[in-house]
Amino acid sequence: MSDIELVSATKSFGGWLKRYKHRSTVLNCDMIFAIYLPPAAEEHPVPLLWWLSGLTCTDENFMQKAGAQRTAAELGLAIVCPDTSPRGSDLPGEHDSYDFGSGAGFYVNATQAPWNQHYRMYDYVTSELPALVSAHFPLNGKQAISGHSMGGHGALICALKNPGRYTSVSAFAPICNPGQCPWGEKALGGYLGDNRELWHEWDSCELIKAQGSDLPLLVDQGDADNFYVDGQLRPEALAAACEEASVPCTLRLQPGYDHSYFFIASFIDEHLRYHAEKLQ
């Protein structure tokens, strides 16, 4: 494993939660990712769930707060958590706000300078990191994808842009229509420029309108989520696009739940079992 460096290893429910550091060619910086390997991985290759996290998060948030390891161990499911942006590039203005730059890569490939030097998170999570983990860990090639908020947006676009790659996709409070909300307008404008037509490639609603999807969508959204109330997430636009394109979409509005990891922890087991069934 000369091209990845072990940062930490922690025993959890009979399996191992490990963090690794590596040099990313795509992002032109050093990156850290986390992987949970269930006990079954010591006996045979296992399927994989990708988890993409939201604004301000790193690889650690989900692994520490979601409580996913117990059920992942039971199901024999590995989980990989990438970081949410390049690190250490220190571009001008990169750390000035929580919703653009550091911790806010939005899982797109930036085309605008200086962001295009590093901010190619889509290629990182769909190409470079999958190749790395498949080379180093006992994975059987079957994979699913999920995420939260900005990471829910990432999970949806990765699945929609790569038909047949993932057995299933789900999301918690995803940014469903980034071309029509303040978070998305700031990020897509900054990374991709002012031509809104180019944004459609990175907007789940626009992708569904353009190409449909053979993969059903599972989305949980808390109805007490301030970002839902404020119009940042727009799950109703996703549901409408799916209905128009005849794409199966299960949108569950969960009464009283907010945007936090308490929400994720409350429903993560259902999502893990959903993906495990599809991964069989």
Q: Write out the catalytic residue numbers.
A: 149, 225, 259
Q: Is 73 helix (H, G, I), strand (E, B) or coil?
A: helix
Q: Angle, to 10 degrees, between the axis of helix 204-211 and the axis of helix 235-245? A: 0
242-261 core/surface letters (b: 16 or more CB in 10 A; e: else): beebebebebeebeebbbeb
First to last CA, the chain: 29
141: left (phi over 0), alpha (psi -120 to 50) or beta: left
Residue 222 has φ and ψ, to the nearest 5°, of -75, 135
210: left (phi over 0), alpha (psi -120 to 50) or beta: alpha
Structural contact between residues 171 and 148, judged by C-beta atoms closer than 8 angstroms: yes
Dist. CA 155–CA 135, nearest whole Å: 22
Dist. CA 263–CA 222, nearest whole Å: 7
